[in-house]
Chain A
Amino acid sequence: MNVTFYGTRGSLATPGRATQRYGGNTACVVVRGEDGSMLVLDAGTGIRAAGRSLGRDARRVDILLTHLHMDHIQGLGFFGPLYTPGMEVHVWGPASSTAPLDTRLGRYLSPPLFPVLLRDLPCRLHLHDVHPGEVDIGPFRITAQNVCHPGPTLGYRLDEAGAVLTYISDHEPALGADRFPAAPEWTSGWELARGADLLVHDAQYTREEYPSHVGWGHSSLHDALAFGALAGVRRLALFHHDPARDDEALSAAVEAALAEVRPSFSVTPAAEGDSITLSSVVGCSPLPRGAKGEST
Chain B
Amino acid sequence: MAQYDVELILMRQLASGLSVPIVLFGPKGDVLFYNEPAEPLLGLRYQETGPLTADDAQRRVRLTDERGREIPLADRPTATALGRQRPAHAQVWLTAADGARREVEVTAFPLLAQAGGLLGAAVMFWERDAR
Please report A residues at the B interface, Cβ cutoff 8 Å.
94-98, 129-132, 145-148, 152, 175-178, 184-191
7 contacts between A and B (CB under 8 A): A96-B114, A129-B115, A145-B6, A152-B114, A176-B13, A185-B1, A188-B3
Query: Given the complex of chains A and B, what is the CA–CA distance between A132 and B116 in angstroms?
Result: 10
Contact A185:B6 (CB < 8 A) given known A97-B115, A131-B115, A146-B113: no
- Measured between beta carbons, the chain B residues less than 8 angstroms from A147 are 6
Q: Is the CB of B12 within 8 A of A191?
A: no
Q: Does B129 contact A (CB under 8 A)?
A: no
Additional A-B contacts beyond A131-B116, A189-B3 (12; CB < 8 A): A95-B114, A95-B116, A96-B115, A132-B113, A145-B5, A147-B6, A176-B6, A177-B13, A185-B2, A187-B9, A188-B9, A189-B6
Q: Is the CB of B7 within 8 A of A146?
A: yes
Q: Is the CB of B13 within 8 A of A184?
A: no
Q: Does B53 contact A (CB under 8 A)?
A: no
- Measured between beta carbons, the chain A residues less than 8 angstroms from B6 are 145-148, 176, 188-189
Q: Is the CB of A176 within 8 A of B115?
A: no
Query: Given the complex of chains A and B, what is the CA–CA distance between A138 and B93 in angstroms?
Result: 57
CB distance from B32 to the nearest CB of A (A): 9
Q: Which residue of A lies closest to B16 (CB)?
A: A178
Q: Is the CB of B12 within 8 A of A186?
A: yes
Contact A191:B2 (CB < 8 A) given known A175-B13, A176-B9, A186-B9: yes
CB distance from B48 to the nearest CB of A (A): 15
- Measured between beta carbons, the chain B residues less than 8 angstroms from A178 are 12-13, 16
CB distance from B86 to the nearest CB of A (A): 17
Query: Given the complex of chains A and B, what is the CA–CA distance between A189 and B4 in angstroms?
Result: 9
Query: Given the complex of chains A and B, what is the CA–CA distance between A96 and B113 in angstroms?
Result: 9
Q: Is the CB of B4 within 8 A of A186?
A: yes
- Measured between beta carbons, the chain A residues less than 8 angstroms from B116 are 95, 97, 131
Q: Is the CB of B10 within 8 A of A148?
A: yes
- Measured between beta carbons, the chain B residues less than 8 angstroms from A96 are 114-115
Q: Is the CB of A94 within 8 A of B16?
A: no
CB distance from A177 to the nearest CB of B (A): 7
Interface centre among A176, A177, A188, A190 (most CB of B within 10 A): A176
Q: Is the CB of A94 within 8 A of B115?
A: yes
Q: Which 6 A-B pairs have the closest CB atoms?
A: A176-B9, A191-B3, A95-B115, A131-B115, A176-B13, A146-B6
Q: Which residue of A lies closest to B7 (CB)?
A: A146
- Measured between beta carbons, the chain B residues less than 8 angstroms from A189 are 3, 6
